[in-house]
Every structure is written in structure tokens, then in C-alpha cells.
Amino acid sequence: MTRDDTDDAFADDDQLLVLPDALRHELKEPMGPIETDADRLLEGVDGPLIAVGDVVTYHLLQAGRRPDVALVDGRTKRTEVDAEIREAVTEGASIEVRNPPAELGVPVVRALRRALSTGDPTTILVDGEEDLVALPAIVAAPEGASVVYGQPDEGMVHVTVTDDHRAEMRDLLERFEGDTERFWELLEG
């Protein structure tokens, strides 16, 4: 496993974007259809699969599909996942990064880009929080890819990436606080 950051503390220069309180309500609405059955969700997957969240990743693995990119943090709804889920989703984790809650930092954006560019399934273990990475994943994933993330107490949200979804996520990310110019440089390289 490689670490993308060298310091144990969250470095200020690693901070790119911070979720402003005014945008939090917009993220509560699902960005795609919600599915509770992983097998049924996978019937609609045609292309790369990016999973954001431990429980989502676990259900996809249980259904027999390893995501091409998985982002996990060992937590669900702010509590630790049980040992079975943690072991299943972190097995073979190849990148480890830090990313503070409600932020998108340099290490996680770099890890996402690297994971999307490799042909091998890649699991990114995030120390902190991975939830917001669904947004840049939708922007950076190829047309037709599936980004799946959890909607607490409802199920799995399945976003099939289109130009419209990318534009919507770009608009949302532009409204975050921080260095959007550097963020786009890192994400789009």
C-alpha cells in the first residue's frame, strides 16, 4: 500500500475545496436513482464502476463485482463499520490518503486521478472522509461510467456519467470555498 501524503497532520497546502454550509442541503438530494438491490443495480452498469463508501462497496463485492475504483474510510453514518465489512472493502487497498471531513484535498484528488487512469481495480483507503469524492468522480469518470454512492437509510445512488451530470457537478464544485483553479488543474491534469 502506498501513502499519498507524507505528514500525519492535515497540511493546509493540501486543502483545495471546502463544502460551504449553504451547499449542504443540495447534497442531500440524490443525483440519480436509488437502488437497494446490488444485483439489480449492476444490471444497469455498462462500463467502469466507481464506488464511494464502505457499505456500497461491500454490497457490490457481495454481488460479485469488484469496483474499478472504490473509496472507503471504515465508517458509515459517522460510526465505524463492522469488522466483516471493513475487512472485505479494505482487502487489497492500494492507495492510502488523508482527507478531512467536508473537504476535497490534494491527496484524494491525486489518488482519484491515478485510480481512474490504471487498468487495475484500485481501492483508496481514506483517513478522514470520502463522501464528497463522488462529485469529482462524476466529473473525471469516462462517459457511461457508473458512480455509486450511499444515500443514508435509503440505498445506493447510481449515477451513469453523462455530459449533463458532469456540468451539474462542475457547477456545484465551483461553488465550494477554496482554490478551485488548482482543484481543476489536479483533477483534469
C-alpha cell at 122: 484500485
Q: How confident is the model at residue 113, as a pLDDT? A: 95
* Residues 17/104, Cβ–Cβ less than 8 Å: yes
- Annotated binding-site ranges for GTP: 54-56, 73, 130, 153
Name the band, by pLDDT with cuts 50, 70 and 90, for residue 13.
Answer: low
Kindly compute the dihedral angle of the four CA atoms of residues 7, 12, 17, 19, in this order, to the nearest 10 degrees: 100
Residue 96 in grid coordinates: 492510502
Q: Is 177 exposed, middle or buried (0-12, 13-18, 19+ CB in 10 A)?
A: middle
CB atoms within 10 A of CB 72: 27
Please give the grid coordinates belonging to residue 47.
462500463
| Rg of the chain taking only CA atoms, in angstroms | 15
Binding residues: 54-56, 73, 130, 153
Residue pair 1/122 in contact by the 8 Å Cβ criterion: no
- Give residue-wise pLDDT tens across range 43-92: 999 999 999 999 999 999 999 999 999 999 877 766 777 788 888 888 87
Does position 169 have pLDDT exceeding 60, yes or no? yes
High-pLDDT (> 70) share of the chain, %: 92
Q: Pull the grid cell for residue 162.
A: 453523462
Any idea what the Cα angle at residue 66 is, between residues 48 and 82, rounded to 5°?
130
Report pTM.
Answer: 0.89
Least confident among 11-20, 116-125, 146-155: 11-20
